[in-house]
Every structure is written in structure tokens, then in C-alpha cells.
A and B are shown apart, each in its own frame.
Chain A
Amino acid sequence: MLIAVFLPLIFACLIPFLSKWKQKVHTGWFVLPIPFSIFLFLILKVGKQFSPISQSYNWIPSLDINFDLYLDGLGLLFGLLISGIGTLVVLYSIYYLHKTEQLGHFYVYLLMFMAAMLGVVFSDNVYALYSFWELTSFSSFLLIGYWNHRSGSRYGALKSMLITVFGGLSLLAGLILLTIVTDTTSIQSMIDQKDTIMNSPYFGWILGFVFLGAFTKSAQFPFHIWLPDAMEAPTPVSAYLHSATMVKAGIFLVARFLPILSLSEWFFVVVSGIGIITLCWGSFMAVRQTDLKGILAFSTISQLGMIMSMLGFGTDAAIFAAVFHILNHATFKGSLFMVAGIVDHETGTRDIRKLGGLMTFMPITATLALFGTFSMAGVPLPFLNGFYSKEMFFKYSLELGEYSGIAQGLATAIPFLAVLGSIFTFVYSMYLVFGTFRGEYKKEELPQKPHEAPIGMLISPIILVIGIIVIGLFPHLVNGSFLAHAAEAISGHESHKHISFWHGFVTPLFMSLAVVGLGTLLVLTRKRWNSIYNVIPGKLSFNRVYDWLVDRTERFSSKITKTYMTGSLKLYVQLILIAIIFGTISMIVITNGINLDATDLAKIRLPELLVVGMMVLASIATIFTNNRIAAILILGVVGYGLSILFVLYRAPDLALTQLIIETVTVALFLLVFMHLPKLEKRNESKGSIFMNAAISISFGGMMTLVGISSYTSKWFDPISDYFLETSKSLGGGSNVVNVILVDMRGLDTLFEIAVLGIAALGIYGMIKLRRKKEAK
């Protein structure tokens, strides 16, 4: 099974070599056997006596992150969809993409996506699941942006990336919480620990995060906005990713975690509520689109909403219906996307306003579209699979249990909303098929003269349509051996349901008839009520919210950055100082750090006081003088004052060094001062002077406080006695300071010499080296 998951990835590495011969053989032919062999491998597992298979491969065992694979009915259903439709899509793309395109890129991305998707559905380890989950987002981003020279593609790719990765990250948060709560990384053992999860304080968070992940991926309201923009991708990609596989990953996630998620009474409200809103909104918006793929995108959104709400019902029967519809939707939506691609390919446009009357030119395509759309609309014809799943949807929406509060309100509203959504589904389906293939033929508006597609392009949709009819006529073929296992894998208990072929004149049938009746009425009077679209999405469109959010985030962050990253050094210094002052003072206050203890102080003497007073005066005077020389000399006064203090405090070496260095520094200052501009008074506003003064005074005050309080709280004796004792015996010198400098802590001195050397070299370089321009 590991090979099945990684085969596409491994093969993707070979694609660049194979695509060199693309002028002779279309690269797609090399790719075709891959999904087909996976499909064959999986189909051999189908059967009545199916039992889950689990395998484990080490990845990071120390963190309990492994490739734990688990193949149960649900995984098998998705695996078959991925590999089966993958095969058909590859076949279709061989005829759809021309050899001049960058085929190598296309198939590498596609195989990457296939591997990721298989990984998602087969993973039992949550972290492996998450890795594959992000790989699907990533490869889908690459595929949407396949024609990266178009700005629409780039916009769509970015949008889908932002939204799905947002969801993916929140999913990760949910999975991490689940791991913490259950202390295992295996999904199956998490499900076994239901009670622990339910009683944990994080349960609400887990629910929220996992739902966010699932809803963004499956384009549920209000995160559906990325899907219509993803239609910029090549049509095989839209057919594969955005109808059959990736958008169902969220549904898969909800299904996989259903035993955990449905522990909450909110499960029904959130999943069914969001699902039914998505169903209605998606189908309502689909009627408005003029692009064939736009209609199909919103239709996908609404169908996903339907599946989601069926999962939300939570009963065994409804779960079975959801599984059934996953299969059905994949068949008819895949074929419809391919039909749209054919129409685009053979006429040069996808704009439904320009299309019409293509029936005579493309009879086969038109027939395929007819089956696809009628199945999608759930027209009550007993050989279309969409009809059964819609009937089941209606039936179980009427059989909801007893709830309280909001849930009860929702349970009462769902049948009506379901009918409403289905009416719009009927409207756009009819519009799609009749708008394209019937009506008048607009010769002038079509870029190309339409003609029937090549047979190779038609094979895939034909196979899918045959699937629609076969499932429609003989639903039991897929039921017992296949779908029942999937439903069992979700709900955890066996439920063998029969898809009723004809169930008599019961309410769901009347609901279907009502849908058809009202739908026909709406289709015929479409022009009269079309103006409603100017009012209802209008400003409430979520695309606007998204654009506004992205735009605001950019502008807001750049505004914030501009407030403090002004390029003014002074402001940065101020900010740093304020942070230091704030941090230190709050720390002093928190730890109650000030403790004055005056017992251990040296005596105050007059000469020292005089020197101190001189230094205070001199240092303050540096601020007020506007004469360069005066400022330098006053600085010298401070330095010499300090060296006198060193003398008074018994530090002969320090006094010596300080004297010399101060002299040299003053000399240096005087040397360069001729070249420095005059210290002219800069006009400063009073506020800024006050600000500077406040900062510097509080900094000085803070340092004084720190000094006093740390001085008076000495905790242990200095280590200097050791230096004094061993200076002579070990160091062989009686000047202890010098012995420390060159003997005991000689390394410091070495690097201090290095510092001086570097400074000297730097100064030399700065003075000597000139750019060529200056040298002239």
C-alpha cells in the first residue's frame, strides 16, 4: 500500500526525462498506467468479505509519527475515485493539452497531487494525514497557477492557497490537541478513546479546528469563494481536483472523524447547518454565472453542501446516502467538467451567452451533457444515479430525530431549504444544458467553427456517463460489496441499506416533482427575476470580503510598520531606551527590588564631593554648550574628573590609563574637529526636547536605583581574596591588577588588543580607501 501511495511521487521524478520526447509521444501516455494500476490494485479488494487492512512504516518513530496506513471501506471508496477518475483525467488531458504546453510540469504536479490525495485517504497517523493534506493544497496551488502568465490564474492560485492553508493550519491545531488528549497519533485508536476526548476541556477547540479545516478544503460557506476562482486551472484539473477529489477531502475528514465529532450535540447544527446553507447559496449563485465552469464550480459547492448536510444528519441511513452521493457526484460532475472542456476546446469560448445551438454540431457531447445535467438536477428518471441520491436526501431530511432549541428549528427548516436548493439546482442544470446546446446558433460570436471533439477526448466522459447509467439502473452493484463497507467505516456499525428502485408515491417523490415543477416555472420566467442578482449578493459577496481583508491586511501592516520603521535612528534609540526603562522599572516594582541598607557604606569626604560636583556640572554643561571646542574640553573635564576619582579610590593603574586615554581622546577630537561641521543649534520642538529629557532623566534615575539597590543587597563575598593571595605565589607579581590582566584573565587582554588592532585598521582603511569616483 505504501507503494501505491508513493508510486505517483516516484514516477513524478522520472517525468522530466520522459517529457523530452514529448514531440513524438505525448507525456500523458507514460503517466496513464500509474493511476490505472493503482485502480486495479484497489478494485481487487472490493468484495462482500472486505475487512480493513492496516500497515505501518517507520518515519519518525521517536515522535510516534509513522506512515500508518489503514484501508477500510471509506478509504477504498476514495482511493477508487482518486485513481479511477485520475486515469480518466489523464486520458482526457492527453487530448486536451497540446504538445507545445509544458507537459512535464503538468504531469509532475498532477502525480504529486494524486499521491497526496491517496496519502490523505489512506493515512491512519494524524501527522502523516496532515502532511499529505498540505501537499494537496500545495500541488493544487501549482495546478491552478499552471498558466502562470495569466493574472487570473495567479490570483486564483493565491486565493485557494491562502484559504486552504488557513484551514490546514487550524486542522493541525485540532490534530495536535487530539494527540495531546488521547496520547496516540493513530486515528483508529483516537476513535476508540471517544469518552476521553469528550470529557477533555479541549473538546470544543478540537471540534472548531477540525471543522474549520474540513470546511475550507471542501469549499463550504463562507469559505467557498476560492473554488470559482480556481476555475482558471486547465479543465482536466478542474474536473479532477475541483469536482471529484480535493474538494471531497474535507468531506472525507468529517466522515473519518465522525465518531468523534458527532459526540457533540453541535455536530448536527454546525455540519448540517453549514451544509444546507452552502447548498442553497451555491445553487442560487450558480444560476447567475455566465461561464460554463463558473456554473459547475458553484454547482460543486452546492453539491458538497448537500453531502455535508447528509453527514450532519448523523443517522446510519443518511451516512449511507452521503457516501452514495459522493460516488454519484464524482461521476456526473467529472463528466460535466470534461464536457465543458470539450465545448471550450472546440468553440474557443466558455461564455454561455455566446454559446447556443451546438446540438447539431456536437451530438455526442450534447448527449453526454444531457445525462450529466439531468442526473445532477435529480430529475425523476429512474436510470440516473443523481435521482436516487436526491430522493434519499429528501427522505432523510424528513426523518430527523428530536432536537431541542436551535437544532429543532434547523431540523424543521431543512426539508424546505433542501427543496429550495434543489429548485435552483434544477434551474442552473437546465440552463447549462439548454443554454449551450439548444437555442439559436450565434455564428459571429464564436471564435472557432464548432465541430465534434476527437474520439479520445470523448472516451473519459463516455465512461463516466456509462457509470451514471449503470449505477442508476443497477444500484445494487455498488451497494453491498462497496458502499456498505464505506458507510460502515464511517458510522462504526453495520447497516445494509437498499436503494429503492421504486418506492411508491411517498413524500420524497412529491418533493422531487415539486422541484421539477417549480424549477421549470423558474427556468421559463428566468428573465423576469434575473435582476434579483443585482440586489442579493451585491455588496454581500464574500469575494469582496476576501479582497477587502487581503487589501486591509496589507495596508494595515504597512501602515503600522511605517509608524515605527521611519529610518530615523533617534526614534529607534528612543524605542530601545523606553523598552529598557519600562522593563527594568516594572521588574523592580514586581520583585519589590528596592531595599536601602545604609550600614555598609564608605564615608563621605569633602575632596571626593568636590570632584563629583565638578563632574556633574561638566557633564550637564556638555548639553548646553554650542561651541565645538568647548564641548570637547568639557568632556575632557569629565574624563579627568573620573581619573581623579580613580586616584581617590585607590586604583593607580586605572587613573594612569584614564589620564592618558582621555588626553589622547581629546587630542583626537581636536584633530578631527576642524573637519567636522559646526555644532549649530538645531531647531527642536519643545515636545521633542521634553521627550529626550524625560527619557534620559528616567534612564539615569533608573541606573541610580539599580546601583543603590544592588549594592545594598550583596549576597556573597567577592572572589578577590583568591587573587590577592595567589598573585605572588602563582602569578609572580605584586601588582594584582596587572597579574589579573596578563596572567589570570589574560584571554580578555588578548582580545582587547585585537579590538584595538581592528579599530586601528578600520580607521586606516576609512581614511585611505576611497571609491574611484571620489579619488578624482
Chain B
Amino acid sequence: MEIITSMLAGILFATGIYNLLQKQMLRIIIGTALLSHGAHLFILTMGKLKRGKPPILVEGVEKYVDPLPQALILTSIVISFGVTSFLLVLAYRASLLNETDNMEELRGSDYE
């Protein structure tokens, strides 16, 4: 199963990158969201899948899933949520101010 989820993470990465390389700003944000999904899945997969019960201690259960990757992913989800929402508002402001969302047209004003 880990091989399949690795491949899924790879596909998420690939589509994320492809979106990142587009010109529209919205697509770039979608790309970053896909990339963070890929990364989370990747961390989960690397921590081994399905090796016991959920990591909530119950009497009599011997084997639990590795809790550390879960904690890491939880942190990461929150952070990527913060960044994504910031990006979204940034894109909103940028496209409003510059009247374009085409990344190829957005260049520094001091560019010669």
C-alpha cells in the first residue's frame, strides 16, 4: 500500500508543480495547495501505514499507529492553511491593483 500512496503523493506533487508553472495566479495557489496535500501524504506514508490502533491510549491495546508523524502533519496543515489564506488575499489584492493576474505581466517596475 505504501508504494501506492507514494505514487499518489508523486502525482499530487506533479499536478501541483504543473499548476505552479501556469500563468494565472489562482492556479498557482491551487498548485501550492496540492503540493501541501502531497507533502502531508508523504509524511504519513513514511511513518508506516496501518500498524495498529489509533494513538489514543485504551486499556488492553498493545499496538498503536506512530503518533509522531501525525503531530507533525497537524502542525503542517495549520501552517499551510495560514499561508494559503494569506496567498489568496495577496492574489486578490494584487490582481485588483495591477488589473491582471497574469504572472508573466507582473514584473518589477525597476526592471530595465
Contact = CB atoms under 8 A, between A and B. Distances in A.
Interface of A: 567-570, 573-574, 577, 598, 601-605, 608-609, 612, 615-616, 619-620, 622-623, 628, 631-632, 635, 638-639, 642, 645-646, 649-654, 657-658, 661, 664-665, 668-669, 672-673, 675-677, 679-680, 682, 684, 692-693, 695-697, 699-704, 707-708, 710-711, 718-720, 723-724, 727-728, 734-737, 740-741, 745, 748-749, 752, 755-756, 758-760, 762-763, 766-767, 774
Given A574-B21, A676-B25, A741 B75 contact: yes
Contact of B96 (A615, A675, A703): A675
Which of A568, A635, A676 has the most B CB atoms < 10 Å from its CB? A676
A646 B45 CA distance: 11
Given A652-B56, A724-B55, 7 more contacts: A602-B1, A602-B51, A650-B55, A672-B89, A699-B13, A736-B64, A766-B89
A654 B85 contact: no
Contact of B89 (A665, A748, A767): A767
A759 B70 CA distance: 23
Interface residues of B, number: 87
Contacts of A707: 2, 6, 9-10, 42, 45-46
Nearest to A664: B81
Nearest to A651: B70
Interface in B42-73: 42, 44-58, 64-68, 70-71, 73
Nearest to A671: B88
B24 to A, nearest CB: 6
A758 B78 CA distance: 13
Contacts of A574: 21
Given A635-B34, A638-B34, A693-B18, A616 B11 contact: yes
Nearest to B89: A763
Which of B26, B102, B107 has the most A CB atoms < 10 Å from its CB? B26
Nearest to B55: A736
A615 B12 CA distance: 8
24 contacts: A570-B21, A573-B21, A577-B17, A602-B51, A650-B52, A650-B55, A665-B85, A676-B25, A682-B23, A684-B23, A696-B16, A699-B14, A704-B10, A707-B10, A711-B45, A724-B67, A734-B58, A735-B56, A736-B57, A737-B71, A748-B71, A752-B75, A752-B78, A755-B78
A487 to B, nearest CB: 60
A716 to B, nearest CB: 13
A752 B80 CA distance: 10
Contacts of A718: 47, 66, 68
Nearest to A774: B97
- Chain A interface main SS type: helix
B101 to A, nearest CB: 5
Contact of B108 (A567, A631, A669, A680): A567
Contact of B78 (A661, A697, A708, A734): A661
Contacts of A752: 75, 78-79
A734 B15 contact: no
A552 B54 CA distance: 67
Contacts of A736: 55-57, 64, 67
A567 B83 CA distance: 24
A653 B46 contact: no
B97 to A, nearest CB: 8
Contacts of A719: 68
A707 B43 CA distance: 9
A676 B87 CA distance: 13
Nearest to A628: B26
Contacts of B12: 615, 619, 638, 700
A759 B87 CA distance: 9
Contacts of B7: 704
Contacts of A616: 8, 11
Contacts of A651: 44, 54, 65, 70, 73
A724 B64 contact: yes
Contacts of A577: 17
Contacts of A653: 70, 74
Given A665-B33, A703-B38, A696 B21 contact: yes
Contacts of A609: 4
Nearest to B15: A619
Contacts of B3: 598, 601, 708
Q: 10 closest Cβ contacts across the A-B interface?
A: A700-B14, A704-B10, A759-B82, A707-B6, A734-B57, A696-B17, A696-B18, A736-B55, A736-B67, A700-B10
Nearest to B46: A711
Contact of A699 (B17, B25, B65): B17
Interface string B90-107: 111101110011111011
A371 B4 CA distance: 96
A710 B2 CA distance: 11
Contacts of B86: 759, 762-763
Contacts of A774: 97
A280 to B, nearest CB: 47
Given A567-B107, A620-B15, A657-B74, A608 B1 contact: yes
Contact of A654 (B6, B17, B68, B70): B70
Contacts of B88: 668-669, 672
Contacts of B45: 707, 711
Contacts of A604: 1, 4
Contacts of A708: 2-3, 6
Nearest to B54: A650
